[in-house]
Copies of this chain bind each other. A is one copy, B any other.
């Protein structure tokens, strides 16, 4: 299976480069009979797209999606759904200089050595722009899971650079450019303004959640649900860490504390993050990801060129000073794609399993 295809049964094949004529994906394996239109997909693309606030790249891309196949009279036919997004606002001349240089912390160096050549315009294939088709595919998965199981996906920023962001409510997330779960983001706006002036960039921490996931998803030994979640999250541009449930904090916990007690009314906690033994428990799936600071910054950096000679690299072009800001809808999409694939895989093997007892209710205190 090729490196640009995600999923075993709900398969997304991604293509395109930052400054090529178009980006897109092919979704193969979508169940037939689901109502689907461009509008169903566009909403999440709009949440992700650049140029929507002063804190993100000013590249102006409408990211309008066209469905090329797989939908007939407004319904999925079960055949591949090809999605096309034409690039509009390429400014390739910005990249002339760095074509022969390697930005510290960037894929420039490794692409060059792997392939022997690279498309330097806007990062080429390594650009975060390629998350747009992933988001589009995720919107299809989300719709099916919502209609089938009532599954909901949401994500928010919980740390911006050095600043922890307290969790107030999911309702705030849609009302600020940071996807922050707080009412007042003035502090983060000021932080970002200062960062831009300093010609620097910062990291972020994102929380991703899926609620209403049925019990039983995940395929031990190697295709556990948490394994596949970790894979897609770590594969997202700039991510350097992934945790599920209590995550790294569980190292210092005792077994008597960590293991979530079960009661007839539900689980009494969610240190597990909704996954036990690599299989969903019916609780909320809780994921945390760490995003590194953008490597494309205006501040000059010590580096080398393709001939191994020392150079000072200055990245022009338009870049996000914190790629974490637009990461929330992408992380939701990735989680949805994993859950979708495993929902189909589980049905394939275990479609006849009749539970003698129903799963217990999920943990109740969800609004945290």
Contacting residues, chain B, for A347 (C-beta < 8 A): 347-348, 351
* A47 touches B (CB below 8 Å): no
* A88 touches B (CB below 8 Å): no
A116 to B31, CA, bound (A): 10
Q: Check A69 against B23 for contact (C-beta < 8 Å).
A: yes
Q: Check B292 against A109 for contact (C-beta < 8 Å).
A: no
A348 to B304, CA, bound (A): 29
Q: Check A117 against B231 for contact (C-beta < 8 Å).
A: no
Q: Report, as a range, how many residues of chain A touch the other chain.
A: 35 or more
Copies in the complex: 4
* A130 touches B (CB below 8 Å): yes
Sort A-B residue pairs by CB-CB distance and give the 7 closest, nearest first: A107-B277, A105-B259, A3-B219, A227-B235, A201-B255, A230-B234, A2-B28
Q: Check A245 against B256 for contact (C-beta < 8 Å).
A: no
Given A69-B17, A290-B247, check contact A227 B219 (CB 8 Å).
Answer: no
Residue in B16, B218, B226 whose CB lies within 8 Å of A69: B16
Q: Nearest Cβ in chain B — how far from A92, in angstroms?
A: 11
Produce 1/0 per residue, A254-298, CB < 8 A to B: 111111111110001001110111111110000000111111010
Query: Given known contacts A114-B217, A205-B251, what 15 new A-B pairs fall within 8 Å (CB)?
Result: A3-B345, A5-B13, A15-B79, A16-B82, A32-B349, A72-B119, A107-B276, A113-B355, A126-B220, A162-B252, A202-B252, A240-B244, A240-B245, A241-B242, A251-B292
Q: Nearest Cβ in chain B — how far from A140, in angstroms?
A: 13
Contacting residues, chain B, for A69 (C-beta < 8 A): 15-17, 20-23
Q: Check B260 against A349 for contact (C-beta < 8 Å).
A: no
Pick out which of these stretches binds chain B: A52-60, A178-186, A356-364. A356-364
Residue in B66, B200, B234, B359 whose CB lies within 8 Å of A226: B234
Q: Check B276 against A105 for contact (C-beta < 8 Å).
A: yes
